[in-house]
Structure 1
Amino acid sequence: MQSNEKTVLVTRPAHQSDHLCGLLTAAGFTPIRYPTIAIQAVENTAHISNTLYQHSNYDYLIFISANAVIQADRLIDHQWQKTPSGMIAIGPKTADTLDQLGLKPAITAAKPFNSERLLTQLPSDLKQKKGLIIKGKGGRTLLAEQLQKRGMTVDTLDVYQRTLPNNYKTSRIKKPAYITITSQLALDNLFLIPPRPIGELKQQCTFVVFSERLARYASSLDCQHLLISHGASDKGLVSAISQDKKR
């Protein structure tokens, strides 16, 4: 089957795909919703609830994603008391989610909205400071390691986990022109789900990824056609596709 140059496979979790799909539609593309990750809340243990309820003891609260904000808010039953002046968001989507809860971030990581960029926005000396990184299970450890090297006492708290969608065994897709990839796990799971030969996707589709790091990883999996987003955002993904010279 010939791929349609206007079709874009959107692998974001189902509850987070509306914005990207809307932007794609407005730009003249046909989005195909195909979540490769499902977000599941973790069990609210005594350790998790105690840590969250004692959030005012930290100098910095660092939210890695919008999902981290949503799940932490649920686990704390929306009972945010005195929040630290050093509330931090990795990227604008996370910052917007905090704003919706009345939790104004003091620092939002600038483009390309990742840990490396955030580290350039923080002091080099963080001795006597205490930080809590709120995130999902797994993922990179670079931020915590680098903050510890600067003298910060760092705790991490996993408030959600990423899994395969429940219907992945019965899912079917038609070959798209583009596939948006916003995390390494999204790409790994994509190759677990489709019934069509994986090699066909790798050779014939263009993978639109959030960063150079993700591009290198996709290349290591033999993905042949790669586009790097103009910033780790939905607008950046759409901009990269719209300006693709191969179209």
Structure 2
Amino acid sequence: MLNKQAEPVPLQGVRVLTCRPEALAARLVQPLQAAGAEVENWPLQAIVPITLSGAERQKLLNLDHYTKIVLVSPSAVQLFVELAEDYWPQWPLGVEWFTVGAGSAEFLARVGLEAQYPEQGDRSEDLLALPALQQLQGEKILLVKGKGGRTQLIEQLTEAGAQVEPLVLYQREPLHWPAAEVARVKDFDYLVFTNGEALKVCPLEAEKSHLPLLVPSERIAQLAFAQGWQRVINTQGAGAAAILQALCEAQTNQET
């Protein structure tokens, strides 16, 4: 009887520190662990819902006034559904829904909404490449997001002719790393950031010359270089698949 060959674990024994907000950590940590990595998540930020003004709540009441609704993060999707279901026991007809990633689209599907998303990549550029977002003259778009993010997306949708209204549902607030945790960072092989705001509040200095830092875009890579990081890897996306691939490639290059 033939023995079943064990599944390959390309990151066996590789120590990875991720810095996602606690509520979002599992969707990155679990795939890395499945690939053999030893992963810890130390949040640098917390996702904090924003109390909406009357004008912002009116946008939720007027979902049927928009032709397209774009939700740009898992936190935006979750908070939006929690709020909007109070106003819409049945979702409005005639609205096209969009997310940046497959995970967010799956979440919407569980509440009866079919969303379009990029098959490859999870950046603003990948979303903007969707055929349904090419001809936007006269379109009215609701962009559901966190405070301070995706300004490029708003600009490019507007340039394409759309009227874009942002709906900001949350902000990221910095968390403090105790000195004992900071001292342990030297024990890891890679550090992963999935947004630029986390990079801005990172308490590390001594590790900038030697610890490989993975970031999701060229913009954030340039921010990292400007802050003094010397070994920066652009994963070309913030999703688990892009980060896993970049880690595997980096580890292969290091071993050869």
User: TM-score, structure 2 length as denominator?
Assistant: 0.84
Bigger Cα displacement from structure 2, 74-83 vs 176-185 = 74-83
Once the two structures are superposed, residues 68-99 of structure 1 have per-residue CA deviations (whole angstroms, 9 ceiling, x without a partner) of 11111222245432154311111222212222
Residue of structure 1 in register with 2:162 after alignment: 152
Structure 1 residue runs without a partner (length 5+): 192-197
In structure 1, distance between residues paired with 2:181 and 2:75: 26
**Within 5 Å, which residues of 2 pair with 1:227-246?**
227-229=233-235, 231-244=237-250, 245-246=253-254
**RMSD of aligned Cα (Å):** 2.0
Q: Does 1:182 align with 2:194?
A: yes
* Secondary structure of residue in 2 paired with 1:155: strand
Q: Residues 111 and 231 of structure 1 are in contact (CA less than 8 Å); yes or no, is this contact kept in structure 2? A: no
Give the structure with higher Rg (CA): 2
Contact 2:124 2:150 in 1 (8 A): no
After TM superposition, give the deviation of residue 44 of structure 1 in Å.
3.0
Which residue of 66, 80, 97 corresponds with 2:107?
Answer: 97
Secondary structure of the corresponding residue to residue 126 of structure 1: coil
Q: Structure 2: give runs of 5+ residues left out of the alignment.
A: 1-12
- Identity over aligned pairs, percent: 27
The whole-number CA distance in structure 1 between the counterparts of 2:239 and 2:156 is 24
Q: Which residue of 1 aligns with 2:225?
A: 219
Question: Which structure is higher in helix share?
Answer: 2
TM-aligned CA distance change 1:124 to 1:29, over 3 Å: closer
AA at the equivalent of 1:90: V
Contact 2:120–2:126 at 8 Å: present in 1 too?
yes
Q: 1:88 to 1:177 in 2, by over 3 A?
A: same
> Contact 2:45/2:174 (CA < 8 Å) preserved in 1?
yes
Deviations 1:150-205 (A, max 9, x none): 2211111101111113x5456724122101111111211223xxxxxx33221121
In structure 2, which of residues 54, 57, 64 is the aligned counterpart of residue 56 of structure 1? 64
* CA positional deviation for 1:213: 2.4
The number of equivalent residue pairs is 235
2:146–2:168 CA contact under 8 A, matched in 1: yes
1:138 is displaced (CA, Å) by: 0.6
Mapping 1:58-137, distance limit 5 Å: 58-80=66-88, 81-105=91-115, 107-121=116-130, 122-137=132-147
Where does residue 55 of structure 2 map in the other structure? Answer: 47
